[in-house]
Chain A
């Protein structure tokens, strides 16, 4: 004690104001972090609350009926649910090979690193283009361009229900293609990151025992990176299910159910975008019910994505 007081340094006690600032700041950041939970929770509560009327009136029948008649107050979201699931899964089936293939191409040393980086950045920039601009492009450029090809498919395979109507413009097929464009960057960039994280020892060991490049990729690299790739695919699925603008502009917005991928259809999000503005009464409640279904679907996919990344990634740590 003596020594401390006589030396030219003295112990400084923290002034109360400094402690107050410290505690106050902590409380503020805790509040900010809690906002996330509050918003997420209230989204669920609000959407559920607004849809209670429809839920109690239609129950599960809502999921299997494709009636949508504001005059007679008869609502069912089957066409929209089918459209949401079909477009997103079909686009995923096209985008997975493209995205993972591209990711492999830009993580392997096939061409100089400089060009690979440029390709990687270009695919990621694709994600920066707003959905409404892609929709505009799809309406005016892509759809007129692909229509003759779709017509050929219709003429050759029209007897199959999936190709059973003549492509006349907006429809499910162009919507699927534009969804491919939108989810490709997600699959590519997440697959690229997880392929890059595979320890190079694994690759060297495979080469060392005589495996060829693609044997190494299929038997060693992809299995090691599978958690990230699956996570990316699931995130892309969630994105595709919730995607609104581009799909609304090109899918044709019709609630008539059809097996044909050339016919106009609906997704839950395009139904919301189209009708929510002018809806009232029980139509709002039915739209909210559809929104609730969309939320639950995307939530399941996203939670499953997070779970699978955690579950599978432990293997190669």
Chain B
């Protein structure tokens, strides 16, 4: 026998390695608690503080100019519709582009040079700061008055949001389509389907739930964005009443929060909290909805 001392095989808590292990485990648990803390704090403040200012008037009325009436600041109605309209405009632009781009990457050119370049490009575009998207749209649409002479407009705001949505949608469509087994494609070709029929009738439906997850996540991100809107859509205190109003300044929840949080008046600050309540509830619901849809598909990654 080489070893002189018989070591015990039972767990000995006073060994250095076991003490170190315990300490590190506790540290990591502590880090996890610290990481979860901001979410709990932010959500509870927004829900409690914001929720207490929510009533029918706040949801429906138009906001009053700051300082006019110190007791009541009106409501956030136009901002809610504005956020909704600009999200719809952004979706109308970014869903075809994003899903189309994803189809090209996954179905037509899996590893070609151009496809690699586009994948790289969409990753880079995803990393472009959102305020740069705003600056870009300001330079090409707002300052040139290219949209029928209008400057700041809801449409310009929607377009700048769409720039933020496209990379996410391309990426999720690409990945979702790649998860559809090739057997299904071969089977479709085998019974005589053309490539167009194969994509629209076989692979797109199979990947539908994963693609919708990506679209909803992108939408949830865009609807909460402020930076691209502050000099494209600007802000407006009024409801839109006609189609033409799309070409004028448009309010949104996020810009309302930004503007009114920095006002020195209590009433405006309360309105900012109420707007955060609506925004956070809607965005968290969209997020949770998208997670749930993601688990439904036959070939989704998050399948449990």
Contact = CB atoms under 8 A, between A and B. Distances in A.
Interface of A: 12, 14, 18-19, 21-22, 25-26, 28-37, 39-40, 42-43, 46-47, 50, 97-99, 101-102, 104-106, 108, 110-111, 119, 121-123, 125-126, 128-137, 139-141, 181, 184, 188, 212-215, 235, 238-239, 241-245, 248-249, 269, 272-273, 276-277, 287-288, 291, 294-295, 298-299, 301-303, 305-306
Given A43-B132, A277-B230, A129 B280 contact: yes
Contacts of B267: none
Interface in B123-164: 123-125, 127-133, 135-136, 138-140, 163
Contacts of A35: 97, 101, 166
Contacts of B224: 128-133
Interface string B168-183: 0010000000000000
A129 B39 contact: yes
Contact of A36 (B41, B167, B199): B167
Contact of A249 (B130, B195, B261): B261
B261 A139 contact: yes
A130 B279 contact: yes
Given A12-B192, A36-B121, A213-B21, A29 B170 contact: no
A45 to B, nearest CB: 10
Interface string B84-114: 0000000000001111110111011000001
A225 B170 CA distance: 26
A26 B199 CA distance: 11
B276 A242 contact: no
Interface of B: 17-18, 20-21, 24-25, 27-29, 31-32, 34-36, 38-43, 45-46, 96-101, 103-105, 107-108, 114-115, 117-118, 120-125, 127-133, 135-136, 138-140, 163, 166-167, 170, 192, 194-196, 199, 220-221, 224-227, 230-231, 234, 254, 257-258, 261-262, 269, 272-273, 276, 279-280, 283-284, 286-288, 291
Contact of B226 (A18, A26, A245): A245
A47 B135 contact: yes
Contacts of B108: 26, 29-30
Contact of A135 (B39, B258, B283): B258
Given A122-B36, A130-B279, A243-B129, 20 more contacts: A29-B100, A29-B107, A32-B96, A32-B100, A32-B104, A37-B117, A39-B166, A40-B125, A123-B35, A125-B284, A128-B221, A128-B224, A135-B257, A136-B272, A188-B35, A213-B21, A242-B132, A245-B227, A248-B258, A272-B131
A10 to B, nearest CB: 12
Contacts of A141: 41, 45
A141 B269 CA distance: 13
Nearest to A94: B34
B42 A105 contact: no
A39 B261 contact: no
Contacts of A105: 28-29, 31-32
B124 A40 contact: yes
Contact of A242 (B45, B128, B273): B128
A interface secondary structure, majority = helix
B276 A136 contact: yes
A252 to B, nearest CB: 12
A124 B128 CA distance: 21
Given A37-B118, A133-B224, A215 B17 contact: yes
Contacts of B121: 36-37, 40
Contacts of B226: 130-132, 244-245
Contacts of A241: 129
B284 A46 contact: no
A268 to B, nearest CB: 9
Nearest to A177: B38
Contacts of B118: 33-34, 36-37
Contact of A140 (B20, B225, B269): B269
B127 A133 contact: no
Q: Which 3 A-B pairs have the closest CB atoms?
A: A242-B129, A130-B224, A32-B100
A181 B37 CA distance: 10
Nearest to B262: A249
Contacts of B284: 125, 128-129
A137 B287 CA distance: 21
Nearest to B290: A128
14 contacts: A18-B194, A36-B118, A36-B125, A37-B117, A121-B291, A125-B288, A131-B224, A133-B257, A136-B261, A136-B272, A137-B46, A181-B38, A214-B21, A302-B127
Contacts of A235: 127
A97 B24 CA distance: 12
A288 B135 contact: yes
Nearest to B287: A128
Contacts of A111: 29
A215 to B, nearest CB: 7
Nearest to B129: A242
A187 B147 CA distance: 40
A19 B25 CA distance: 62
B283 A101 contact: no
B258 A123 contact: no
B226 to A, nearest CB: 4
